[in-house]
Structure 1
Amino acid sequence: MEKPLISIVIPTINRYGDLQNTLNDLQKQSVREYEVLIIDQTDEKDFCSIHFPQTKHLHKTFKSASKARNIGLLEAQAPIVLFLDDDVIIETPYFLKNHIRHYEDMSVSGVSGAILNTDRKWNTHLPQRASHPYLGWIYTPRNYHKPLRISDGGAGNLSVRKEWAIGVGGMDEHYEKGAYREESDFCIRFTNKYGKLIYDPEAVLIHIGNPKGGIRSWKTGQGIIHAPHHMFGAWYFMFRNLPWFVWPEYSWLTVRRFILHKKLLKNFYLFPKAIYWFGLNFLKAMCKSINKPLFISTITHKQ
């Protein structure tokens, strides 16, 4: 095969059924000049070898979505790298084309595609807070129906220029497992240096959100309490990326997500445990943010 136009990086953990369906959908794309890099972190006892055309299957023993994406960046042969989740449905044969076409403009840094839930509903409302200079990306829906320029895209449907992504250090590997805000951390650094992403609703996929495997492999408290590494990620992102004067608003949004959500409020007996982990990971993130980030240029990738 000639050098691919686009390299597709898919981190995965024990989701072979979903992954195979995703690979089948990629086989139906109008663009044929692509490669797939699967960074598989499934335990050895559950590991299955995957054989698909144009696909390279790498088995790693660590558990880190950020590190997996960094490996994909380094291994990619194409100038454009597309990050995908392993549990997605791609219904349009022009999905890859709708990413690639934007890169004809050499000033374009990256493309964030629309991410729909399985109900396939679009959001036609853009909140006023979406224009906030520092936090607008939080209020911008991933399923908005019109094109935008945005600062943050979900890593389940995000393409970037390879060399530019490496130029900002790739993903910060201080984000453990599949931690909350890991892709936001990358996107904010990336767009601050190279300009905002194009949000293209025509580069659309459906995210299944399989409750088992992937980043949902570490649930706690019957799935009611968010996993500690997500709490860490939320606070670490704040300390690392946001100016102090927006911390109150961001902190309130974080408390609402992790503590004041319906499931936890209905199971109040779990409240002390949730508060303990929330506070502990606040302190952990504050301490960790003093250290240098674990960027792609400062690490050696080993199993």
Structure 2
Amino acid sequence: MLFLFLKYLQPTHYFQLYRKDGTSIFPIIENLPNEIVEQLVPEAKFKSEKARKYDLSWQAVNKGYIGNTEVYTSFEKLPVIDEYRFLRKYFHSIWVFYVLMLRLLSFKNPFREFSAWKKSRDTVRSNYLNKPIKHPDCNKQQSSLVEDKPLVSVVIPTLNRYKYLKDVLADFEKQTYKNFEILIIDQSQPFQKVFCKDFNLKIHHIQQNEPALWLARNTAIEKSEGSIIALSEDDVRIGPDWIENHLRCLDFFKADISAGVFYPEGSSIPKERSFFCVASQFATGNAMLYKDVFKKIGLFDRQFEKQRMGDGEFGLRAYLNGLKSISNPYASCIDVKAGTGGLRQMGSWDAFRPKKLFAPRPIPSVLYLYRKYYGRKRSLLAILKTVPQSIIPYRYKKNKKMMVLGLFISLFLFPFVVLQVVISWRLATKKLREGAMIKRL
């Protein structure tokens, strides 16, 4: 990563890793078009010129630059004060102090660390998300892909959610794009064979006896007839142009993947997801991709069965293999968050909050993902950052005061939390020894 201290706050971010061809995601600033550079804000207080350039490169990616400019393949070490200044510019001061404590506890020079932390306090916090990089409106551009009308195969796994499934199927009946099929892999008990008969849609309603989410998605992809796969869920609501907006994104940006945006019912699209950018995450509840992607990198890893982050692993695999994934705010959907059925019923819906005292924390698939791709040290940093916060219930996870409270509570529960992490670590080790369960298409 271009700024070393990001490893403490984003230890398992996609962009922390170089791709398989040795490249990063970050563009060399001198090679960016002038119209892009003009939308970036230089930081005059950096001590080194290299830090100023790295900062602009980071801005470009996070403000939505999408292009083919030459990227960095390595990064030089920066002055410690520039590392702290960068963190202060983009992260809350609590997290900057957190990094200082980690540095001191890892026996870094305390005088140098404290001095750099203190001298960087005059840094002004950036509001870069208020001015993302502007792209032409792809919805107003002619799309040859939409005009060619390729068959789109929509994949929807479901488990005991007929009440919610009927709503999303009603949304699909209203789509402006008509050439699509829907493959429903139904794991419900009891199975309602005639459930789909009243919908004016081309539906393949397939019963699956084993409740297994990733098996369901893999099965649907294998049985699909389309050259393009759309991934949806049984508890979302979509607009009438959902399919068309995904297609337009694939076409306009010449992308392999269009990664749609979720937002909770009654809320709105998060600011950081409100503009087109290179996707730093992937969710199987709202995405579209060419079927050839699965031929290149394989289907979903069944080591995540009944657990979390299987879609995150797939997105990371796509990134590492150099596939182009674009975060698409136009293809948004409302996350209804059904209280029953689905992953809530078959396994762990929350990756970091076990229901039982001696259950693993986080669930083993999380550490399987972290350790497989980021290694032991980054995994430990991720545990240190996420586990204390997970003491607080999910509904308070965006409440900063409650997060701080969670940190203090975790100190009292320290022996139990350590035991939960050890259990998870051992189960993840078993998964790593077994290896990936990725089937090729």
Q: TM-score, normalised by structure 1?
A: 0.79
Counterpart for residue 47 of structure 1: 191
Counterpart for residue 220 of structure 2: 72
Contact 2:361/2:417, CA 8 A, preserved across alignment: no
Task: Summarize deviations over 1:184-205 as a string: whole Å, max 9, x none.
Answer: 1011111221423111101011
Counterpart for residue 71 of structure 2: none
Shift of 1:27: 0.5
Counterpart for residue 260 of structure 2: 113
- SS in structure 2 of the partner of residue 21 of structure 1: helix
Shift of 1:107: 4.2
Instruction: Look at both structures and tell me which one has the larger radius of gyration over its CA atoms.
Output: 2
Distance in 2 separating the partners of 1:103 and 1:5: 14
Pairing partner for 1:209 from 330, 337, 341: 337
Distance in 2 separating the partners of 1:270 and 1:85: 36
Rate the CA distance shift 1:47–1:275 in 2: closer, same or farther, 3 A. farther
- SS in structure 1 of the partner of residue 321 of structure 2: helix
Distance in 2 separating the partners of 1:116 and 1:269: 34
- SS in structure 1 of the partner of residue 215 of structure 2: helix
Q: Which structure exhibits the higher relative contact order, with contacts defined as CA atoms closer than 8 Å and separated by 6 or more residues?
A: 1
Contact 2:265/2:335, CA 8 A, preserved across alignment: yes
Counterpart for residue 433 of structure 2: 290
Aligned CA RMSD, in angstroms, stands at 3.1
Contact 1:185/1:237, CA 8 A, preserved across alignment: yes
Rate the CA distance shift 1:149–1:30 in 2: closer, same or farther, 3 A. same
Counterpart for residue 297 of structure 2: 168
Pairing partner for 1:225 from 349, 354, 357: 354
Larger proportion of strand: 1
Contact 2:361/2:420, CA 8 A, preserved across alignment: no
Greater alpha carbon shift after TM alignment, 271-280 vs 153-162: 271-280
Distance in 2 separating the partners of 1:107 and 1:4: 16
Give the count of matched residue pairs. Answer: 272
Contact 2:297/2:318, CA 8 A, preserved across alignment: yes
Q: TM-score, normalised by structure 2?
A: 0.56
Counterpart for residue 209 of structure 2: 61
Structure 1 residues without counterparts, runs of 5 or longer: 127-143, 299-303
Rate the CA distance shift 1:229–1:57 in 2: closer, same or farther, 3 A. farther
Percent identity, aligned pairs only?
25
Contact 1:41/1:59, CA 8 A, preserved across alignment: yes
Structure 2 residues without counterparts, runs of 5 or longer: 1-148, 395-404
Distance in 1 separating the partners of 2:377 and 2:208: 40
Distance in 2 separating the partners of 1:229 and 1:34: 41
Shift of 1:103: 2.9
Contact 1:111/1:160, CA 8 A, preserved across alignment: yes
Shift of 1:257: 5.3
Q: Residue type matched to 1:191 in 2?
A: Y
Rate the CA distance shift 1:21–1:240 in 2: closer, same or farther, 3 A. same
Distance in 1 separating the partners of 2:327 and 2:252: 15
Task: Summarize deviations over 1:76-105 as a string: whole Å, max 9, x none.
Answer: 111111111110111x21111001123336
Q: How does 1:252-271 map to 2 (within 5 A)?
A: 252-256=384-388, 258=390, 260-262=391-393
Q: Residue type matched to 1:240 in 2?
A: K
Q: Residue type matched to 2:329 in 1?
A: P
Contact 1:175/1:229, CA 8 A, preserved across alignment: no
Pairing partner for 2:242 from 70, 95, 102: 95
Q: How does 1:98-177 map to 2 (within 5 A)?
A: 98-104=245-251, 107-124=254-271, 126=272, 144-177=273-306
